[in-house]
Amino acid sequence: QFLARRQGIDISGYLDKKNNENIVKARDRIIEINKLALKYFQEVLKHEIGSKARDYLVHRSVTKETKDFFQIGYAPDKWDSLLKALGNRGVSQEELEKAGLVSKRDGEKGFYDRFRNRIIFPIFDNANNPIAFGGRLLPGSESKTEGAKYLNSPETIVFKKSLTMYGLNFARQKMRSKKKVIIVEGYFDVITLFQNGFDYAVATLGTAFTQDHLRILRSQVEEFIFVFDPDEAGQAATEKAGMIVGNSMNLSFVPKGLLSNQILGEDFIDNKDAGTLDIQVVALPDKLDVDELLKTKGKAEFEKLLSSTEGLLERTVRMTLDDVHISSSQSKKMDAIDKIIPLLAASHRSVREQFFLLLEVRLGIPYPTLSSMLSRRLEKRKVPSERGNSIDLVDVKKKLPKIEADFLELLLHKPEFVDLNTIDISFFSDSTVITILNELLDASEKGIKMDAASLLDHLDDEVARSLVIELSSSQLDDEINNEEALDCLSRLKNIKLRREQEKFNKEIYNVSREKGDNSEVLWSLLEQKNKLLKKKQKDIST
């Protein structure tokens, strides 16, 4: 609900908990329809009608292996091609509209294909289900169907732009092993990077880098490398990403130098501190985007750029102050400071002090003024939840008992390994975990299977939502089986019994001191403790 309101999306029709089962069925149906559409787009690309699209992919140096790997397709230059093809498979026009594959005709009855004369890039969820599509208009077309160069599916009950990144399903494993991710702007950027061996790249989907993108990626990597286009839009996107990161993370990098040529030391931030994140930016040369650079200058040149990245704070300061100096207007100086302060707020104190000295010299703004602006920014780094509370967005998982986080992560990824009827809420101590489990248990009692996306639709607590996003975006070891789940439950049960035993020990000690060793209360407590120990011993033996 929170995300939907923020994006201006009305999902009220899906929020009635009595209709949980209908929501799950609707989600499954849209994915089923998307699978049919994907197969159709792929078949069209192989057909004679897709020859120009194939030629274009060759022109873009996309190999057959890459095309098959990313499951690229083609939507023909017709108004009702997909409409008819899937209609013949029993898919209604209304269902196609809900899936975002067709649009209503203006002022007329009927629908028309949303994607026409476009290379089609399917967008997948973590389970490799197609949840949406992106389309690139074929260049040089004389068709009257031309529109924006790139077009994405509209948001649906299975597709939320702020929760999705192109290529994440393909890149996740390598991202986790390398502990880094390359973030780019476009489909072809991701594809070209993959072809050149940089298989840990993802792209935003026609939207700015968001707080949710940060959460999803942060749970899997320690370093972000932004490679946005060198044009104004790309620079603005980098700047916006810096604002998002700066408002909720700690930047764990050492600037290579200041504009005053004063070299900073190396004792700033412990990279192992919870919440730190290494943010780097690649400066693309000669107004080339990633795709063009790799084709014209080759893999070695891009590797050289990756080895000479610039810290986000350093780059932001350098570019912001490029045309601002001590004689600039006060408003221009303040605009510059407003861009820099969020990143300074995310940096270590010793880094801030060095940059404050620089800004004081370059802009003539007194150190105390800068310090005061920073203090106000630090107060805002707590993000309000819907209920008016303040929550820290950094690494929710790290604040939980590890065994509880591990069990919930396993439950979200492998629900088939866990019989929800065997879960006793009293095994758990963390209130956020309990909130999530209660939602799952409530759905289970009604005979409804709920995945992570459905769960997010029903959670109001923002901390719980953050935890679900973080855990469901991680990747479990392929060798994990149902024995792991049973082991987790057994350990949780033992921990609960140990807590109860400690509670009895404290009560017995207090009663013994206050009422003596022969009081009835004491003997009652000893009897209860004895039953608990027998139960614990029985559980161990079985």
Quickly state the pLDDT bin for 83 (edges 50, 70, 90): very high
pLDDT of residue 386: 38
8 is a domain residue? no
Q: What is the dihedral of CA 499, 501, 506, 507, to 10 degrees?
A: 110
140 is a domain residue? yes
Last residue of a domain, one of 345, 379, 413: 379
Count of C-beta atoms within a 10 Å radius of residue 318: 15
* Shared-domain flag, residues 532 and 461: no
* Shared-domain flag, residues 360 and 239: yes
* Shared-domain flag, residues 228 and 200: yes
Quickly state the pLDDT bin for 264 (edges 50, 70, 90): very low
390 is a domain residue? no
* Shared-domain flag, residues 30 and 173: no
pLDDT of residue 413: 83
9 is a domain residue? no
245 is a domain residue? yes
Domain containing residue 428: CATH number: 1.10.860
Most confident of 1-5, 141-145, 296-300, 372-376: 296-300
* Shared-domain flag, residues 435 and 536: no
3 is a domain residue? no
Whole-number average pLDDT of the chain: 78
Quickly state the pLDDT bin for 477 (edges 50, 70, 90): low
Lowest mean pLDDT among 32-41, 219-228, 401-410, 525-534: 525-534
Task: Count how many domains the chain has.
Answer: 4
Last residue of a domain, one of 432, 459, 480: 480
DSSP letters spanning 190-230: HHHHHHTT---EEE--SS---HHHHHHHHTT-SEEEE---S
* Shared-domain flag, residues 363 and 504: no
Going by their DSSP bridges, the two strands 276-281 and 310-311 should be labelled as antiparallel
513 is a domain residue? yes
* Shared-domain flag, residues 333 and 460: no
Domain containing residue 258: CATH number: 3.40.1360.10
pLDDT of residue 478: 59
* Shared-domain flag, residues 233 and 350: yes
Last residue of a domain, one of 432, 449, 480: 480
Quickly state the pLDDT bin for 348 (edges 50, 70, 90): low
Specify the DSSP element, H or E, that contains 123: strand 118-124
5 is a domain residue? no
Q: Is 286 helix (H, G, I), strand (E, B) or coil?
A: coil
**Which domain does 521 fall in, by range?**
491-541
Average pLDDT over residues 494-512: 69
Rounded to two decimals, what is the model's pTM? 0.65
Quickly state the pLDDT bin for 16 (edges 50, 70, 90): low
- CA-derived radius of gyration, the chain: 28
* Shared-domain flag, residues 475 and 495: no
Domain containing residue 112: CATH number: 3.90.980.10
Q: Which of 307, 64, 66 is nearest to 196 (CA)?
A: 66
* Shared-domain flag, residues 269 and 363: yes
pLDDT of residue 55: 96
Residue 439 has pLDDT above 80, yes or no: yes
- Location of structure tokens 């799952």: 440
Quickly state the pLDDT bin for 392 (edges 50, 70, 90): very low
* Shared-domain flag, residues 328 and 465: no
* Shared-domain flag, residues 47 and 138: yes
